[in-house]
Every structure is written in structure tokens, then in C-alpha cells.
Amino acid sequence: MGGEWQYGELGELVDFTPKRPLKKGVIAPFVAMADIPENSREIARITQKEFKGGGSRFANGDTLFARITPCLQNGKIAKVSELSGDEVAHGSTEFIVFGAKNHEYDQDFLYYLARSPIFRAYAESRMEGSTGRQRVSWQALAEYEFFIPPKSDRKTIGRLLASLDDKIELNRRMNATLEAMARALFKSWFVDFDPVIDNALAAGNPIPEPLQARAKARKALGDQRKPLPEAIQKQFPSRFIFTEEMGWSPEGWGISTVGDEVETTGGGTPSTKQPLYWEGGVHAFCTPKDMSLLSSLVLTDTERHLTDAGVKKISSGQLPAGTVLMSSRAPIGYLAISNISVSVNQGIIAMLPNPSYGPFYLLCWAHFNMDNIKDRANGSTFLEISKRNFRPIPFLLPSGPVLDFYNEQSAAIYSKVLLIAEQTAELTNIRDTLLPKLISGQLRIPDAEKLVADAI
């Protein structure tokens, strides 16, 4: 640690009660605790709400720090960047606002200090109140003592960590775009039946009433429709048939159930009171919570890991990479493709891909059939769909050549998604490793600059 680092209190850098004028009755941007995702610097949603006085008031550059349990433990900490100009927003009384006294040097530094494990542990140690509703005061946070870097170092530390987060966010957006492409192709072919409509229009065959609006829109596009390769287009039929199970669907395509076409399984949780199943575990163990925290559809790691003995306690054992996971309760509908061998708990239904139905096909099928899936759920405490109710869901069987072409296209997309997801996991690991070391001075800034430059 450099000699210029001076021991002091956080209150020297932060105005915990920044003057943010806002008149009662004014409609202004509002952020609720639910609008802050766990372990993300972004605010998920900003709404407009009347300001009635009190609460937190903040502007761009400020950090919102959840002071109430369990929100603090869950990492509900965000850096405000979405407001326009000098706009003032207001929010929950359970936010503590970190307003940097020196905006130029400290805004990013203070955000990452608030995220550091040591600071969050300190905040938890200063919580007061009843067990289920404890809070930490801003006065307690202002008394936090640490070695304060000189202002130029504070600016550099914030910049380095922010550059990693910027790259992580860029990767997230790239993957979101790629995933949307795969879903759009699936929807066009297997939900809206666009190629079949095109063939029916070309042949002068009747269009079923539920598909006529889609056909009209396709016809209006004329030459603007992006044609499929002729060899693929001709694999689609030119007529529709009606069945009780599927309604109107392409002629010649079969109908089965997801349970007959895809191997499905569930999981369980070995006793958490038995260290034999958990201590030193290296086998990934996925729960719906792991899926809820994903920034893309790829699962690259899990919060908890099982030992060999723990894996043996789950009837489905370890499922292979490429398995499609769907949360079956609390809530129903998180979806992911595992990039690793993984065991799952009782809140997940796993679908194992096969040569006909690849991972992206199964994930998209579940996405577009989610209403049907949820309709088959039941439960008094919370809705859950059992494997017994899941397996009979109708499952359309397109022709082999159509499936082959979709799997080929989606596999190309998935390889890109996977590459980006792996890079994101590496960047996240680097950020989480560097953060406490930079904040505490355990790592020299030139060494950190080289690590970041090599990573991005």
C-alpha cells in the first residue's frame, strides 16, 4: 500500500444526506426496492410517482445502498445513471444515498466500496432492530474506518472496475440479441408458421381464420420478405390441418407429447445438515435462485456444490452439459441451458436434448408454451408444475429436414452465446477478485491496470 493512503472515516468522502430539492406534489422519477436487481449495478425500472416528502432523494452518480435485511445481504446496491441532466429522483426510505463530496474522483469508487465484501460485512454488523427487520443507519456507515487512497487512485480504481462492468454489460446485451434471434426464428417457423403460410399463399391454398391476419401481413410485405433458401422452403408444407391437441398446424407434421419425445427428469436436495454432502463439494448444484441471477440463458456455475456423496443422494445424479433447465415452482418459468454437468433440486424440471431436438429448440419450445405449462400447475402455498403434469403437454413434430436446419442455425448462435457467456464469467471473476484487493490496497494499481487491459 502506498504511503499516501490515509486512515479515515467514510464520512470524509460521502454526503449521506445530500440536498436534493423536490417539492411535495411533484411527479418525479421513483425507484422502489423491488426495482433494484440483486448483484447488479443497474436500476431495472424507474417509474413516475408523486413526491409526498421524506424518503431518499438522489441524482445521477449517486449510489443507492439497501440498508434493510435481507436486501443488503442480497446485494441490492445500484449506481444511478439513468436520469436526465440534473433531474432529481426519489425512492424507498430503505435506501441510503451515497452522494460523493467530490463527484469527479469518487462516484465510481464509492459504488465499488459499497459493493465490497468487507464493507457489506461491516454494514451487517451495525444493523439494529428486530431479527426480521433489521436496519443499518447512515450514521453507522459514516463511521466506517479504512485506509483512504489519494483522490487520483480513487478515480483510477473506480475507472478500472467500471470498465470491467461496462464490458460485462456489453456482453449481456450481445447475448440478449443473439438469444432474441434464435427465439424469433423459432417463433416464425414453429409458432406463426410463416414458411407454411408463404407456401400456401403461393399455391393458392386456404388460410385458416386464426392465421389470416398473419397471412395478410406476410402478403403485404411482398418482396420485402426475406426468402428462405429454396431447399429449405420446399421442406415446409403448403396446407394446414386442424387437430384437437394443437389447433391449426402444418399438414404432415406429427403430434406427440413432450414426455414421449424428450427425456425429462427432476432432482432433490441432499440434507444440508450433513457436511458429507457439501463440504469441499465440486459438483454444480442448481436451484431456481441460481437461474434467477443469470444475465443470459447459459448456466456456467452455481452458488453451491455437492460432493460425490451428495450427488449420489439425487436420483438424477449429474446431468450433462447442454441440458435445458426450467424452474417448476417459486416461480415457474426461469429457463437456462447448462454449460456444465449439473445436479438440480426439486424446483427444476430438466429436459435432455437429443439429435432431433437440440437445447435451443427445447428452450424456445418451453418459452412459447409457458402459458400452457403454467395452466397445468397447481398448489395451495405456491404454484408448481409436476413432471407428471408436464410430460403430457402436446408437442409438435416438424419434419426432419426442417428440424435439422433449425438445429444447425441455432447451434451456430449458441456457440457465440456460449463464448460470450464464458468470457463474461471470466470478467466477473476478475472483477470480484480485484474489487476487495483494490479497495484495501492489497494490489498495486499498475498490476490491476495490466490485468484489466489483458481481460478486455
For 370-399, the pLDDT digits (tens) are 999 999 999 877 889 999 999 999 999 999
pLDDT averaged over every residue in the chain: 93
In angstroms, rounded to a whole number, what is the distance separating the alpha carbons of residues 68 and 49?
22
Query: What is the pLDDT averaged over residues 332-357?
Result: 96
% of the chain with per-residue pLDDT over 90? 85
Q: Whole-angstrom Cα distance, residue 151 to residue 145?
A: 17
Model pLDDT, residue 143: 97
Tell me the per-residue pLDDT of 122-174, one tens digit each, with 9 for 90 and over: 999 999 987 667 999 999 999 999 999 999 999 999 999 999 999 999 999 99
Using alpha carbons, list the distances in angstroms from residue 32 to 57, 71, 82.
12, 12, 15
Q: How many helices (H) and strands (E) does the chain have?
A: 15, 22
The pair phi, psi for residue 265, each rounded to 5°, is -155, 170
Instruction: Please report where in the chains the cell 467530490 appears, as a residue.
Output: 102
**Residue 423, class by beta-carbon neighbours within 10 Å (0-12 exposed, 13-18 middle, 19+ buried)?**
middle
Bridge-based pairing state of the strands 89-91 and 27-31: parallel
CA 338, CA 437: separation in Å to the nearest integer?
Answer: 31
Q: Where are the beta strands (DSSP E) in 136-272?
A: 145-148, 240-243, 247-250, 254-257, 263-265
3-state secondary structure 265-316: ECCCCCCCCCHHHCCCCCEEEECHHHHHCCCCCEECCCCEEECHHHHHCCCC
DSSP string, 424-437: HHHHHHHHHHHHHH
pLDDT exceeds 60 at position 2: no
Q: What pLDDT does residue 75 have?
A: 86
| pLDDT tens-digit readout, 254-309 | 999 999 999 999 999 999 999 999 999 999 999 999 999 888 899 999 999 999 99
Neighbours of 246 (CB within 10 A): 14
Distance CA 427, CA 409 (A): 28
Q: Assess contact for 364 and 286: CB atoms under 8 A.
A: no
Q: Tell me the backbone φ, ψ of residue 55, rounded to 5 degrees.
A: 70, -175
Q: In this predicted structure, what is the pLDDT of residue 133?
A: 79
Q: Which amino acid is at 342?
A: V
pLDDT of residue 367: 97
pLDDT of residue 276: 97
Please, what is the Cα angle at 424 between 348 and 361, to 5 degrees?
A: 45
Tell me what pLDDT residue 131 has: 66
How many residues appear in the chain? 456
Nearest of 13, 99, 92, 80 to residue 52 by alpha carbon = 92
Helix (H, G, I), strand (E, B) or coil at 29: strand
**Could you give the 3-state DSSP secondary structure of residue 108?**
helix
Phi, psi at 358, each rounded to 5°: -75, 175
Q: Are 239 and 195 in contact (CB under 8 A)?
A: no
pLDDT tens readout for residues 64-84? 999 998 888 888 999 999 998
Three-state secondary structure call for residue 341: coil
d(CA 55, CA 273): 42
- pLDDT for 285 equals 98
pLDDT of 313 reads 97
Is the Cβ–Cβ distance between 233 and 227 less than 8 Å?
A: yes
Residues 395 and 364: their CA atoms lie apart, in Å, by 12
The three cell numbers locating residue 41: 449495478
The residue behind cell 397445468 is 376
Residues 6+ apart with CB under 8 A from 70: none
Three-state DSSP class for residue 398: coil
Distance of CA 5 to the CA centre of its chain: 38
H or E element at residue 165: helix 151-186
Q: C-alpha angle 420/423/424, rounded to 5°?
A: 85
pLDDT of residue 456: 86
Cell numbers 422452403 correspond to 233
Residue 200 above 90 pLDDT? yes
